[in-house]
Amino acid sequence: MPRRCIINKKRRENDKYHRILEAAIKTFAENGFFQSTIAQIAKEAGVADGTIYLYFKNKDDILVQFFNYKTKQVFGRFREEVDKADGAIDKLKNLIRRHLEEFQADRNMAILYQSETHQRTRMVEDQIREMSDMYLDIVTEIVEQGQAQGSIRKDLYLSLVKRFILGAVDEVINTWLHSGKEYDLVSMTDPLVSLFIHGIGSTDSSSKH
């Protein structure tokens, strides 16, 4: 078979793989993972049921592939965005903004990612842990840089700070997903960063305790 034909064949197969994966994400997001069927995914992707098994072992494998491919791709973009900034505060702002942008841009991915990370089903437990570690590693770098630069307090429990940031962003996304209202998720970037850096205490010296 000519090389060009082989390349075109691989490209078609790759396109079909991604079409099935995107169809599965949409189906899982709309119906829930356990309620979804291979037949529903195939219908959404516009392929025969049997075609699914050329690319995935079963429904569980599709979910694992979602975490292995889709979410790692998104987390890679987090890293790229953080690396564009110099100071710790700007890095944190870039991280939060890109996080919210990615999840707002793909609501189905956001729904599936949030639901599975909260349920922590056994089949993707390792992938979820890896994603969490990747995110917390980036936050650790930012906080340590900020402490070295003097823009972030040094008298902090780093493990608490990391979970505070991840938990706050997670809750903002969940609220957006379940609010039933249409609003710009990315608009929460500045309020979140302000909360992380300034806290909720007043700087007014006349305030009474």
Q: What count of other Cβ atoms lies within 10 Å of the Cβ of residue 136?
A: 17
Question: Do 42 and 63 share a structural domain?
Answer: no
Is residue 140 domain-resident?
yes
Mean pLDDT of 34-60: 95
> Same structural domain for residues 45 and 64?
no
CB-based contact 99:105 (threshold 8 Å)? no
- Among candidate residues 15, 39, 56, the one where a domain is terminated: 56
How many domains would you assign to the chain? Answer: 2
Q: What is the pLDDT of residue 208?
A: 52
Rounded Cα gap, residues 172 and 103, in angstroms: 11
Model confidence at 103, in pLDDT bands (50, 70, 90)?
Answer: very high
42 and 120 housed in the same domain:
no
Which of 71, 44, 41 lies closest to 56 in space, CA to CA?
Answer: 41
Which residues lie below 8 Å from residue 192, measured CB to CB, with a gap of 6+? 96, 168, 169, 172
What is the 3 state secondary structure string of 46-83? CCCHHHHHHHCCCHHHHHHHHHHHHHHHHHHHHHHHHH
Other beta carbons within 10 Å of 160: 9
Are residues 42 and 141 both part of a single domain? no
The two tokens of residue 11 are 């490209």
Same domain, 70 and 151: yes
> Do residues 64 and 48 share a domain?
no
Out of 56, 72, 91, a domain closes at: 56
Cα–Cα distances in Å, from 38 out to 50, 67, 110, 119?
9, 18, 21, 21
CATH code of residue 177: 1.10.357.10
**Is 208 a domain residue?**
no
Residue 8 has pLDDT above 90, yes or no: no
In contact, 146 and 88? CB cutoff 8 Å: yes
Question: 138 and 65: one domain?
Answer: yes
118 falls in which pLDDT band (50, 70, 90)?
confident
pTM: 0.85
Q: Are residues 18 and 115 in the same domain?
A: no
Question: Residue 101 domain-assigned?
Answer: yes
Clarify whether residues 67 and 49 are in a common domain.
Answer: no
Q: Tell me: pLDDT of 2 over 70.
A: no
Does residue 76 fall inside a structural domain? yes
| Residue that terminates a domain, selected from 20, 40, 56 | 56
**71 and 8 within one domain:** no
Q: Return the CATH number at 9.
A: 1.10.10.60
Q: What average pLDDT does this structure show over 104-116?
A: 92
Give the phi and the psi of residue 169 in degrees, each rounded to 5.
Answer: -65, -40
55 token code pair: 């690319």
Enclosing domain of residue 52: 1-56
- Burial label, 165 (beta-carbon count in 10 A; 0-12, 13-18, 19+): buried
- Based on the domain organization, do 84 and 51 belong to the same domain? no
Statement: residue 83 has pLDDT above 60: yes
Query: Are residues 194 and 97 part of one domain?
Result: yes
Q: Identify whether 209 is part of a domain.
A: no
d(CA 50, CA 183): 40
Residue 87 lies inside a defined structural domain of this protein? yes
Segment 131-160 shows an average pLDDT of 93
